[in-house]
A and B are shown apart, each in its own frame.
Chain A
Amino acid sequence: MDQENQVQIQELAQKYGCEELIAVLGSADPEMAVIAAESVAGGNLMFIDPIPTAQLGLKAYHIVELKELIDHQVYLRHMEMMEMILDISRIIEEVSIVRKRFFPSEVSE
């Protein structure tokens, strides 16, 4: 994730706190979903602060993990085609591993 976006997210995380704010991902590749989930959780703030002290601390969910929460018709309209392409089980597995790694005390998904 680029510097500008990380700075923006950091500001929002500071303003709202990580309880109230989450990230939702639309990455097509499981590997990229993991990279995005890691960047919003751990951050890569070397360019903001040479000795990074702050973490972004956001929990990330891939959109496919939230299917049951989304209006069925809306989900179909945006995701019906993508569901045929995405490696859904791998995305769910790997993104939830990132959450468990960064937020070990909160096991319930």
Chain B
Amino acid sequence: MLKGKKVVVIGDRDGIPAQSLEECVISAGGEVIYAMTHCYV
């Protein structure tokens, strides 16, 4: 399902931030085309 897909990652600084999500997505064959991390404080 991730293989060959383009992916927008939306991280959470006090959860799972963008770079960690990106590494996971890439390992599953997805291509990250936009990454952001949110901070709620």
Chain A residues near B (Cβ < 8 Å): 1, 5, 8-9, 12, 16, 20-29, 32, 36, 40, 58, 60, 63, 66, 69-71, 74-75, 77-79, 82, 86
Q: Interface residues, chain B, CB within 8 Å of chain A?
A: 1-3, 5-12, 14-18, 20-21, 23-25, 27-30, 33-34, 36-38, 40
A21-B5, A69-B1, A70-B27 are known contacts. Are A26 and B20 too (CB-CB below 8 A)?
yes
Q: How far is the CB of A90 from chain B (nearest CB, A)?
A: 14
Nearest-Cβ distance from residue B21 to partner chain A, whole angstroms: 5
- Further pairs besides A23-B9, A69-B3, A79-B24: 13, Cβ < 8 Å: A1-B38, A5-B36, A12-B6, A21-B6, A24-B7, A26-B17, A27-B38, A28-B14, A28-B16, A40-B8, A66-B2, A70-B2, A78-B24
